[in-house]
A and B are shown apart, each in its own frame.
Chain A
Amino acid sequence: MSMMPRLAAILLLALFTLFAPVNSMAGSSREASAEQSLIAWYALVLQLIRHTPTYSPPVASRSLAYLGVTAFESVASGSDDLQSLAGQLDGLRPLPRRNAGQVYDEGVVLNAALASLVQELFQNTGPTGQRVIGLQDTKQRRLVSEGVPADVIARSEDYGRQIAAHVLAWSRDDGGALVVNMGFPYEYTLTAGAAHWVPTSLISQQQLPLLPKWGSNRTFAMPMGKSCSLPAPPDYSEDKASPFYAEALEVYRTDKNLTTEERAIARFWSDDPMLSPTPPGHWISIALQIIKHDKSDLEKSVDVLARLGVVLADAFIGCWETKFQYDLLRPVTYIRRLIDPKWEPLLITPPFPEYPSGHSTQSAAAAAVLTKLFGENFAFEDRTREGDGLKPRSFASFSAAASEAGISRLYGGIHFRSAIERGLAQGQCVASYANALRTRK
């Protein structure tokens, strides 16, 4: 490039920046750059969730919420159309603003923000995860920076890190930032009485329930953990004529007579921590598959991921609040006590109270949000568990997928029907708050 054209370009850029308060390096290639960075970081996060031992489903949902908000605010800060979530999400104050008249690159901003956030949220992952985070940072920085002037890179990275720092500062006092002993308390008093949860495994660490205080965490869009409370489960009874006994018998008989299809459904949605991206990660995976398949634009993508992250996190807070309110025993405890002492459920019984079903609550919540964003009767195929040798499943709608996720817990022998049906209802309630968020100006 000769001097004159370069000077002309600088002048042109100066004129352009003078009259544009906030400028982005525009163009479809820049959006594609940002989009691939978004997808790449989310793909890595799903792996890190699976491979970081503290990442039980509630913990995963929390990180996915902050990740979604970070992605959204990074893009919204340079958008004419997106409305910041500051002031809408509990405790989220207005985010740092871009400097007027200066040029930013959307891909670089977003990448820097996501990289910072992931490094912090997964600072406790193992050496392999740390290594991959570092490699990904290097690779993505190179990809998003291609063709971008150095000063724009520096400015954009600095701004992206400010977004991440703001979100991380917001996250630290929500009640869920510190997870010790993989989420199992060192001290806890089990509720006395036959109706209540007792340990269901012979794993020493799991003799006390997972994250008993999670229900009191600060919520995101939902006002508080109790905002979507549920009526009590059916009265505990050992009477064979009681509704409670009937529900237990249903679990037992269903498990004894599972069809191949029901068994496949139970395994598909099992979403065990450390062996899968967990239930909230499963729904994020569904969203990512749709985003890629539909080639959603960047603004739609971050809208989807932010709302979905927020609703999943709220769903776990609400669900956990209810779980520890009623503190109901698991089917395996009741069935072994009264029906068949040698009964083994198909799935591993999670180490916390039964009512309601967490997978049901969060699946219904996720489905309601995705339905609002993509429409009713949106058919899709879910390949989330393909890597684990589980065949893809097809669904006619998000709600159909949520219903299947719910009933899978009965097939798996880990939930009674009431916990599933009311969990699905609770999820609908939780989603109403996330769906009320205003993301467009």
Chain B
Amino acid sequence: MRSPHLLLAASILASSALASPCMAEESPLLPSFVEETKTAGIDSIYSGEWEYMVGGGVAAFDCSGDGLPDLLLAGGSSPAKFYRNASTPGGRLHFDLQPSGLELDKVTGAYPIDIDGDANMDVMLLRVGENVVMRGLGNCRFERANEMWGFAGGDAWSTAFAATWEGNASWPTLALGNYIDRAKEMEPWGSCTDNWLHRPLAAEGDSERKFAPPVALKPSYCALSMLFTDWDRSGTPSLRISNDREYYEGGQEQLWRILAGEPPSLYTEADGWKPLRIWGMGIASADLDGDGYPDYFLTSMADNKLQMLAGPPQQGEPRPDYKDVAYAKGVTAHRPYLGEDLRPSTAWHAQFEDVNNDGLADLFIAKGNIAKMPDFAAKDPNNLLLQQPDGKFYEAGEKAGVASVATSRGALLVDLNLDGLVDLIVVNRWEKAQLWRNTTPNAGHWIEVRLEQPGANRDGIGAWIEVRRGAAVMRREITVGGGHASGELGWWHFGLGDSVRPEIRVIWPDGAASGWQPVERDGFYIVERDKPVKQWLP
């Protein structure tokens, strides 16, 4: 039997005026992944019924001080599970399930963030019910800090998170995205509950080490992903929110202007913002075209979106006017690319990382039916789309060995064994999470960078890391948020291709730029503010 995908492709190519751009003549370096879920000791299911149809996140962060990212997996109606990373650097993956204090139930997602700047990673737990901020105590132990930090956990169905440090604040601002009003059983549509902005409690000339009561972000439209991002390179991040059109009335995607000391305000059509209404579920960002501005991939059902600024900046200032280039770049990822199931896809977590170290950011998309919706693919393989030199993407999920058809939700591409290749963890609804080790032979060179600055915002959230290799400059915005209920904080990975001696510099959140500093490829580096780059060895 001929593959329905071949028949379909032939049919559309023959009949449509616009040929599909997704296949290039030459494929890029194919990555290779080996699933090590079982041998690595990962055994976790995102469980639960209606209130857990969204969420299902994973957080990666080092809480043991060995540089290896540890993992926290949301369990939905079951308790979350914490796994300490016991992998041998460069070797197979191995994790130990151990108590941490993070094992709460009703967790939908988790994001690491060092709130109090004590170098012990804290963790934000998004929940159905009260959100809980967990303070890191060191050695992978955590305690509830809602009361200590004045954090009002509320009682909502929380599904999105992002964080920033506003201006010179010594305490972060947290954005919490909320979904449907659970109490409105008969009228769930149009019942989106308010998102919250938890800003620092203002003190005289400074911020206290506590949160003020949250400000409602009105209107709210059932957020499933949020990201503080400096979209216009003004030095002040705005809050992008991807919303689920299934439940809002009169809603759309949102971009909030968040200026220190001022109430939040929405960008509008007068500013250049164009209404976009999708089943927004996840945000990934990267500067794909090298113009210095972040581009955004938004997951949805059927076609997904890739947004780039529509026009050049006017008088140096861009307008928030985005064009969708997903079709042109071959990343609509709107239906399964293998198997017999041709029904439209459902996409959740998305993330750009360079999986083959060729110097081009690739795109991973977690896919999975909401539950058992018959109009959408039941066997919906996750995507691994490789960016090519012409900016188009090539589907390599099957060849790379990560084309799982489990019902996926959250995920992370993160180097779990510190070998310079990003590995993959995916959380699945009603099925076991899956873990793959990246074993790509002949991959390009790489560096990984961690930021440190004294005092607040220790990890430099809001900074931009730039890596220069020859004439090309790769840029990465350091953020907390985005994806689908999943976040990581630690080493930031850059593929280098065959570059010999890259240089790095950091534009810190306050706009101060370090000088370019040469580094050896294939190494780990800690960039401390106003200090020479320091190599770190696993």
CB distance from A154 to the nearest CB of B (A): 26
Whether B371 pairs with A202 at a CB distance below 8 angstroms is no
Whether B8 pairs with A186 at a CB distance below 8 angstroms is yes
Q: How distant is the Cα of A223 from the Cα of B115 in the complex, in angstroms?
A: 70
- A389 within 8 Å of B (CB atoms): yes
Q: How distant is the Cα of A139 from the Cα of B185 in the complex, in angstroms?
A: 12
B302 in complex: contacting residue of A50, A182, A190, A202, CB < 8 Å: A182
- B268 within 8 Å of A (CB atoms): no
Given A53-B375, A187-B11, A188-B15, does the pair A126, B370 have CB atoms closer than 8 Å?
A: yes
How many A residues face the partner with a CB closer than 8 A?
Answer: 39
Q: How distant is the Cα of A132 from the Cα of B186 in the complex, in angstroms?
A: 6
- A131 within 8 Å of B (CB atoms): yes
Q: Which residue of B lies closest to A130 (CB)?
A: B371
Given A128-B246, A389-B250, does the pair A182, B375 have CB atoms closer than 8 Å?
A: yes
Q: Collect the chain A residues with CB atoms within 8 Å of residue B301's CB.
A: 53
Q: Collect the chain A residues with CB atoms within 8 Å of residue B343's CB.
A: 180-181
Q: Which residues in window 46-62 of A have CB below 8 A to B?
A: 47, 50-51, 53-54
B53 in complex: contacting residue of A127, A181, A198, A275, CB < 8 Å: A127
Whether B246 pairs with A199 at a CB distance below 8 angstroms is no
B15 in complex: contacting residue of A50, A135, A208, CB < 8 Å: A208
Q: How distant is the Cα of A124 from the Cα of B369 in the complex, in angstroms?
A: 13
Q: Collect the chain B residues with CB atoms within 8 Å of residue A389's CB.
A: 249-250
Whether B50 pairs with A131 at a CB distance below 8 angstroms is yes
Interface of B is mostly: loop
Q: Collect the chain B residues with CB atoms within 8 Å of residue A135's CB.
A: 185-186
Whether B375 pairs with A124 at a CB distance below 8 angstroms is yes
- A205 within 8 Å of B (CB atoms): yes
Chain B proximity mask over A264-288: 1 for CB below 8 Å, otherwise 0: 0000000000110000000000000
Q: Which residue of B lies closest to A50 (CB)?
A: B189
Chain B proximity mask over A170-198: 1 for CB below 8 Å, otherwise 0: 00000000011110001111100000001
Whether B190 pairs with A202 at a CB distance below 8 angstroms is no
Interface segment among B30-38, B137-145, B325-333, B414-422: the answer is B325-333
- B20 within 8 Å of A (CB atoms): yes
Q: How distant is the Cα of A131 from the Cα of B189 in the complex, in angstroms?
A: 12
Q: How distant is the Cα of A128 from the Cα of B335 in the complex, in angstroms?
A: 23
Chain A proximity mask over B244-269: 1 for CB below 8 Å, otherwise 0: 01110110000000000000000000
CB distance from B457 to the nearest CB of A (A): 38
Q: How distant is the Cα of A187 from the Cα of B7 in the complex, in angstroms?
A: 9
Whether A126 pairs with B324 at a CB distance below 8 angstroms is no
- A123 within 8 Å of B (CB atoms): yes
A205 in complex: contacting residue of B180, B188, B247, B344, CB < 8 Å: B344
Which of A180, A198, A203, A389 has the most B CB atoms < 10 Å from its CB?
A: A203
**How many cross-chain pairs have Cβ atoms below 8 Å apart between A and B?**
108
Which of A54, A135, A207 has the most B CB atoms < 10 Å from its CB?
A: A207
Whether A205 pairs with B303 at a CB distance below 8 angstroms is yes
- A387 within 8 Å of B (CB atoms): yes
Q: How distant is the Cα of A24 from the Cα of B516 in the complex, in angstroms?
A: 88
B14 in complex: contacting residue of A50, A189, A207, A390, CB < 8 Å: A189
Whether A202 pairs with B16 at a CB distance below 8 angstroms is no
Q: Collect the chain A residues with CB atoms within 8 Å of residue B371's CB.
A: 126-127
Q: Collect the chain A residues with CB atoms within 8 Å of residue B370's CB.
A: 126-127
Q: How distant is the Cα of A179 from the Cα of B343 in the complex, in angstroms?
A: 11
Whether A387 pairs with B303 at a CB distance below 8 angstroms is no
How many B residues face the partner with a CB closer than 8 A?
Answer: 44
Q: How distant is the Cα of A207 from the Cα of B249 in the complex, in angstroms?
A: 28
Q: How distant is the Cα of A259 from the Cα of B343 in the complex, in angstroms?
A: 42
Q: Which residues in window 388-443 of B have CB below 8 A to A?
A: none
Whether A51 pairs with B246 at a CB distance below 8 angstroms is yes
Q: Collect the chain A residues with CB atoms within 8 Å of residue B7's CB.
A: 187
- B298 within 8 Å of A (CB atoms): no
Q: How distant is the Cα of A199 from the Cα of B12 in the complex, in angstroms?
A: 12
Which of B12, B277, B373 has the most A CB atoms < 10 Å from its CB?
A: B373
Q: How distant is the Cα of A54 from the Cα of B17 in the complex, in angstroms?
A: 25
Whether A275 pairs with B245 at a CB distance below 8 angstroms is yes
Whether A136 pairs with B189 at a CB distance below 8 angstroms is no
Q: Which residue of A lies closest to B15 (CB)?
A: A189
Q: How distant is the Cα of A189 from the Cα of B10 in the complex, in angstroms?
A: 12
Q: How distant is the Cα of A272 from the Cα of B327 in the complex, in angstroms?
A: 22
Q: Collect the chain A residues with CB atoms within 8 Å of residue B521's CB.
A: none
Chain A proximity mask over B1-29: 1 for CB below 8 Å, otherwise 0: 00000011001101111101000000000
Q: How distant is the Cα of A3 from the Cα of B465 in the complex, in angstroms?
A: 88
Q: Collect the chain B residues with CB atoms within 8 Å of residue A203's CB.
A: 302-303, 327, 332, 334
B374 in complex: contacting residue of A124, A207, A390, CB < 8 Å: A124
Q: How distant is the Cα of A205 from the Cα of B344 in the complex, in angstroms?
A: 8
Q: Which residue of A lies closest to B49 (CB)?
A: A127
Q: Which residues in window 116-143 of B have CB below 8 A to A?
A: none
- B449 within 8 Å of A (CB atoms): no
B18 in complex: contacting residue of A124, A188, A199, CB < 8 Å: A199
Q: Which residue of B lies closest to A139 (CB)?
A: B186
Q: How distant is the Cα of A312 from the Cα of B381 in the complex, in angstroms?
A: 39
Whether B374 pairs with A123 at a CB distance below 8 angstroms is yes
- A239 within 8 Å of B (CB atoms): no
- A294 within 8 Å of B (CB atoms): no
Q: Which residue of B lies closest to A179 (CB)?
A: B375
Q: Which residues in window 315-347 of A have CB below 8 A to B?
A: none
Which of A50, A181, A208, A388 has the most B CB atoms < 10 Å from its CB?
A: A181
CB distance from B384 to the nearest CB of A (A): 18
Given A274-B245, A389-B250, does the pair A208, B16 have CB atoms closer than 8 Å?
A: yes
- B342 within 8 Å of A (CB atoms): yes
Which of A51, A126, A275 has the most B CB atoms < 10 Å from its CB?
A: A126
Q: Collect the chain B residues with CB atoms within 8 Å of residue A47's CB.
A: 189
CB distance from A390 to the nearest CB of B (A): 8
B17 in complex: contacting residue of A180, A190, A387, CB < 8 Å: A190
- A204 within 8 Å of B (CB atoms): yes
CB distance from B483 to the nearest CB of A (A): 22
Q: How distant is the Cα of A187 from the Cα of B17 in the complex, in angstroms?
A: 13
Q: How distant is the Cα of A50 from the Cα of B277 in the complex, in angstroms?
A: 13
Whether A204 pairs with B332 at a CB distance below 8 angstroms is yes
Chain A proximity mask over B228-251: 1 for CB below 8 Å, otherwise 0: 000000000000000001110110
CB distance from A184 to the nearest CB of B (A): 9
A202 in complex: contacting residue of B12, B180, B327, B374, CB < 8 Å: B327
Q: How distant is the Cα of A208 from the Cα of B12 in the complex, in angstroms?
A: 8
Chain A proximity mask over B167-205: 1 for CB below 8 Å, otherwise 0: 000000000000010000110111000000000000000
A388 in complex: contacting residue of B246, B249, B328, CB < 8 Å: B249
Chain A proximity mask over B332-357: 1 for CB below 8 Å, otherwise 0: 10110000001110000000000000
Q: Which residue of A lies closest to B331 (CB)?
A: A204
CB distance from A193 to the nearest CB of B (A): 12
Whether B303 pairs with A51 at a CB distance below 8 angstroms is no
Whether A207 pairs with B18 at a CB distance below 8 angstroms is yes
Q: Which residue of A lies closest to B184 (CB)?
A: A132
Given A190-B17, A387-B190, does the pair A204, B334 have CB atoms closer than 8 Å?
A: yes
Q: Collect the chain B residues with CB atoms within 8 Å of residue A126's CB.
A: 246, 370-371, 373
Q: Collect the chain A residues with CB atoms within 8 Å of residue B17's CB.
A: 190, 198-199
Q: How distant is the Cα of A54 from the Cα of B342 in the complex, in angstroms?
A: 15
Whether A136 pairs with B186 at a CB distance below 8 angstroms is yes
Q: Which residues in window 346-379 of A have CB below 8 A to B?
A: none
Q: Which residue of A lies closest to B333 (CB)?
A: A204
CB distance from B309 to the nearest CB of A (A): 16
Given A54-B375, A202-B327, does the pair A388, B302 have CB atoms closer than 8 Å?
A: no
Q: Which residues in window 199-228 of A have CB below 8 A to B?
A: 199, 202-205, 207-208
Whether B375 pairs with A128 at a CB distance below 8 angstroms is no
Given A127-B371, A205-B344, output 9 extra A-B contacts at Cβ < 8 Å.
Answer: A51-B246, A53-B301, A125-B373, A126-B371, A127-B373, A187-B7, A187-B8, A199-B18, A203-B332
- 10 A–B contacts from the bound complex (CB under 8 Å): A50-B189, A53-B302, A123-B374, A186-B8, A188-B15, A202-B324, A203-B327, A204-B20, A275-B245, A390-B250
Closest 7 CB pairs of A and B: A202-B327, A389-B250, A388-B250, A204-B332, A127-B371, A187-B11, A387-B249
